[in-house]
Structures are given as C-alpha cells and as structure tokens.
Chains A and B, each alone.
Chain A
Amino acid sequence: MSNVLANQERLKIFGLLSPAYLWLTVAIFLPLSAMLYFSFLSDVPFGDAEWTYTANNYRAFFQTSTYATLLWKSLKLGLMVTCISLLVGFPCAYVLAKAIKGRSREALFLLVILPFWSNSLVRIFSWAIVLRGNGVLELGLNAILPFEVDVNLMFTTPAIVIGLVHSYLPYVILTSYLALQAIDDNLIDAARSMGANKLTILWRIILPLSLPGLLAGAVLIFVPVVGSFMEPRILGGRVGTYFGTVIEDQFVAVFNWPLGAALSFILLAVVLLILAVASPVLKRAQT
C-alpha cells in the first residue's frame, strides 16, 4: 500500500520537476559542464587549434595577486550593495505590504518592477547622465539649493554602488513584500495586545517571519553583483575594475575562454562556499 503511494508520489515529483530541470540541464548545466571542461584546456578546441589538458588556468589565479585582490574587492562590493539594498528595500516592502491597501498597492507593486523592463545598458547610461559633472543631479541640486554645489559622482565607487543598488533593489523589495504580505495582521495585533512596542514587534515577529523572503532577496542580489561587470565598467571608470570585468575581458576582448571559464568557476565556488557557511547561521537566526 505505502509502496504504491510512494511510487505515485515519486511520479508526481518527477512530473513536476523534470520539465524545468531537464530544460536547465540541456541549456545550462551541460553547456556549463562543457565550459568546466574547457577550463582545464590550454586552448578552445575549435578548428585546428592545438590544446592540451592543464590546470594552468586555475593556477593563474594564484600566480599573481591581481585576481585575488579583485575577487576580494568584488565580494566587498557585493556585500555593500546587498546591505544597502536590504536596508533601503525592506522598509519599502513593509509599507507596501502593510500600510497600503487595495488597488493602489497592486499598482505600486507593479511600478516597482517596471523599471526592470527597460534595457540595462540604457539604464546605466542614463545614470551616467545623472551622475556626471554638470549632469542632472548637479543641475537639479543647484536648482533647489540656495548655494552652489559641485557634484560629480561619475567614475567613483559610489556611482557603481548607486547603479548596482538601482539594478537589484526590486529583487529585495519583491521577495520581502511577498514574505511580509503573508504575515497575518492578527499576529501584529496580538503582539500589541500583549504590550509589545513597534521595535519589539519588528524584531521578534516581523523580521523572523519575513526572513525567508529577505534571504532570497539577499542571495538574488549578492550572487550576481559579485560577478557584475557592466555597471562597474561604465560607471566606475578608472576604479571600476572588478573580478567580473576581468572575466568579461577574457571572454570579449581576449577570447581566452579557458582562463575566463576557470575564473568564473572560482567565483562560483567562492560564492557557494559563502552561502554554505552563511546558511546554518541564518537558519538559526530565524528561530
């Protein structure tokens, strides 16, 4: 009896999961495996190119301090962008989920996601117009403020952070919103009836209950930001060299795919390691 049930369940799991994962396998996992294979070659095996198996591409990471320095710089950038996005986005999601009701909430929710539907390059270039000297920000501030200010953020780390926070903020707003919306308002009322003030409610009830959403948002931000290259390159100028831009160079400018792939897999390994270390800590925080 239970065997039949187990079989049925297995069939169901298979039926629900296999389309998505089959798709991912064909279009992502197998290609990435091929890439992993390439990362151990001396050259991409196209045409008449000669190649041999080698671990040199991975060794390259350790041979100069350049890559490690840049990876560390990228990790710091990822952490900073993630923290800022969480601090900025969570209150937004809270207001959206708890303070605004009905139709206007849906409309606002859509408005948060809509900027995503524009081309990222166009968005980044628009930021450049805002942030550069004599740009929109400076003109705007000088129009409002009674005194003259010089604002030229272009080609600085703050410019990169602004651009990245802008690109990824909707993720954290969205996932936090979904989690917050699921919190029964009665729980908040119940806590108040027991004498809890707003801070206690936030700390003891709302944050723990919305933690899955916050974490999903944090992962969705941290992971791609560490490998980002477009925002740093365009908005960072001279200071915009990061691990992602070096990988991009290997693929776009130099076409040293084996080295680029090796660097990408090192990035992936480090990111997964960080998530693995962080997940039990965060899981404990939830209870």
Chain B
Amino acid sequence: MKKQFLMATTIAVFGTAAAADEIRVLNWQGYGTDLDWAVGAFAQASGHTVVHEYFNSEQEMLTKLRTNPGAYDVVLINAAFTPQAQEEGLIGPIDVTLIENLSDVPPDIAGNPDLNAGGALHGVPWTWGLTSFAVNTGEFDQTPDSIEVFWDKAHEGKVSIRDDALEAVQFAAIATGQDINNISDLDAVQAKLAELMPQIKTYWGSENDWNQFMAAGDLDVATFWSGSASRSMAAGLPVQFVVPKEGAIGWLDGLSIPTSSTKKEAAHQFIDWMIDPEFYVKWAADGAPASANAKAAAALPDEAFNKRILGDPEVVARVQFQRPVSEENRKKYLELWQGLKAAQ
C-alpha cells in the first residue's frame, strides 16, 4: 500500500502519467528487473507494462543492441562496458532530472568515469558487487582469509573457477599482487594459473552450476559473485563468501537507455523505480547485490549480507573495481586462458 502510494506520488510529481507503454528490458535473467512483484507494482503505479529479454554475456548484450535497433528501452550494462556502448552510439545520455532517486546515490559512485563516458551520465548506477570466492563451510574449521587456499594441496580436485578468460586472469592478478586493470607481469599470471589447473575439478559457467556443484559436495572452494553468494546462503547452502586479504574484483552495474528507444520517458520511470529503496530492500531479502543507492543500502536490516560484508569499509578498501579492457588485452587473455585449458 505504502509503495503504491509512493509510486503514485512519484508519478504525480512528474505529472506525466501518459498513455500506457510496453517497455522492453534487456538484462541477465533473474537479475532484479524481472521480479514479478516489482514489475506488477510498476505496472499498477505507472500503467506501463514490462517485457524482458535476456542475455548471457556482455558481448551478447552489445550484439543484441547492435542488431535490434528500437527493440529495447532499458538495458543493464556493466560499467566496464558502458564506454564502449556509448562510443558505438548504442546508448544515450540519461536525463537526470527524471530520476529523482539519483540524489541518494553517493557522488563518488554517480561520478564513476565509466558510467559518465562521453561527458554525460550514460548509465544510472544500480548495483555493485564483488567477484571473490566462497567456501563450503563443512570443509573448513576456520574460514580462510587468503586467496592462497586455491593453491592448497589439501583441496586438490575440489576447486573451481569460472570459465571466463578475463575473470581468470584478473583473479590470478590479485593472487600475484598486481593491479587488475594494469597487469604488468602477464607471465606471472600465466604461471600462477598453470599451477592452479591441477587443483581444479571443473569450471563453472553459471550460478546454477555453482549451486549444484556445491550442493553435490563436488567443491570446497570456488570463485563466486557476492550477489549470487547471498542468494545461495539465503537458500540454505552451507557456504561462506570470503573477501581475502589480497583483495577482490569489484564491478558496478548501471541501467542505460538505448539511443533507439521510443519510450524514453517510461524507461526513466522504470529506472527510477529500480533504484528506489523500497524496491531494493524487498529484493535484497531474497539475495541481491549491493545497491548503489546509499539510502537503500542503509535501509537494509543490520544482519543483511550486503550490509554485513559489503558495508564494511575495510572490505571495500581491498576491492579493485574493473575498468574497461582493451580489445588487444582481451584477446591476449583469451589466448592465455584457452592455451591453459587446451593443455588439460
């Protein structure tokens, strides 16, 4: 009731409760925007309906934007890809006056250089999170605090990392004490990964894989995303997310509006609803990444995963946020990773 009221006032303020539109959102599946209750509440308050399409990788998302002009109104883009999308002219600048909740986003996040590619805000900061790892609590008396646990012979054949060249390379960069956005010693990374390979049981590809492997007891320790970890813990899996002393990879997701969108006004309304604390608190209850909205983050209960772990300034200090990766480096990383995999 309260939410509907809130939404209604939001729209009343804009005074633009125009004709009902159908907006199309391009996102990962099951990543907040497609929650039934959220879409329902938005439809009830604004009159706009929401249809989803999903992608399975950032590259695919970019390709979909390129090949289907006019098909999407809101798209989720990782900040490391926002500049590329902006350069290609796929997404347009955000009209900040239409997003009331933006004022609650801390300036250091709202001012993220990648999201502000081309000199204007092109992605509304929505969520952020970590790529670190989680352990099976049944296999550890004490939660490890070092990334070196991956190389511990005690866990040989019970280790997993995601089958992703960039992530693997950046993970090894952290383990070798390097800057993930400026890897100076790629040979060290390669050596470190080569050493890791015999430890690995399998690569994981998706949150689903990860949960099943963990549930089946195949793994002791595996890299993981913070948002997914909070979901797995909420679902009752005996896992603990770890941000090791060596650091972790951080990422920031923004919501953007394609240049070719014909329903920009409704799209702005939807994005505003997505960063609303009301929405976020309810979402976080089933497991969500951290919100970019300070007010939303503060509204979480104290025991919430995102507040407990990601709210800790000491943890945040260890995080290295991902920046865009050049095409050349991307190719180099892929070759390195494929070579290692093929050698198995």
Contact = CB atoms under 8 A, between A and B. Distances in A.
Direct touch of chains A and B (CB < 8 A): yes
Interface of A: 46-49, 64, 66, 69-70, 125, 128, 132-135, 154-155, 233, 236-241, 246, 249, 252-256
Contacts of B66: 46-47
A238 B216 contact: no
Contacts of B89: 47-48
A241 B330 contact: no
Contacts of A252: 56-57, 59-60
A253 B164 contact: yes
Given A46-B63, A249-B338, A255-B62, A237 B216 contact: no
Nearest to A70: B342
Given A233-B205, A237-B202, 20 more contacts: A46-B63, A46-B67, A47-B90, A48-B89, A64-B339, A66-B335, A70-B342, A125-B212, A133-B216, A133-B217, A154-B202, A236-B202, A238-B200, A238-B201, A238-B341, A252-B56, A252-B59, A252-B60, A253-B57, A255-B62
Interface of B: 56-57, 59-60, 62-63, 66-67, 87-90, 163-165, 197, 200-203, 205, 212, 216-218, 330-331, 334-335, 338-339, 341-342, 344
A241 B205 CA distance: 13
Nearest to B67: A46
A132 B218 contact: yes
Nearest to B87: A48
A47 B88 contact: yes
A66 B59 CA distance: 23
Given A48-B89, A252-B56, A155 B202 contact: yes
B201 A155 contact: yes
Nearest to A155: B202
Contacts of B216: 132-135
The 9 closest A-B CB pairs, nearest first, are A237-B202, A255-B59, A241-B341, A46-B66, A66-B342, A155-B202, A47-B88, A238-B200, A47-B66
Contact of B203 (A48, A69, A238, A254): A238
A49 B197 CA distance: 36
Contacts of A64: 335, 339
B326 to A, nearest CB: 14
A128 B63 CA distance: 32
B344 A249 contact: no
Contact of A238 (B60, B339, B344): B344
13 contacts: A47-B88, A48-B87, A49-B88, A133-B218, A233-B205, A237-B202, A238-B203, A238-B341, A252-B60, A253-B59, A253-B164, A254-B165, A255-B62
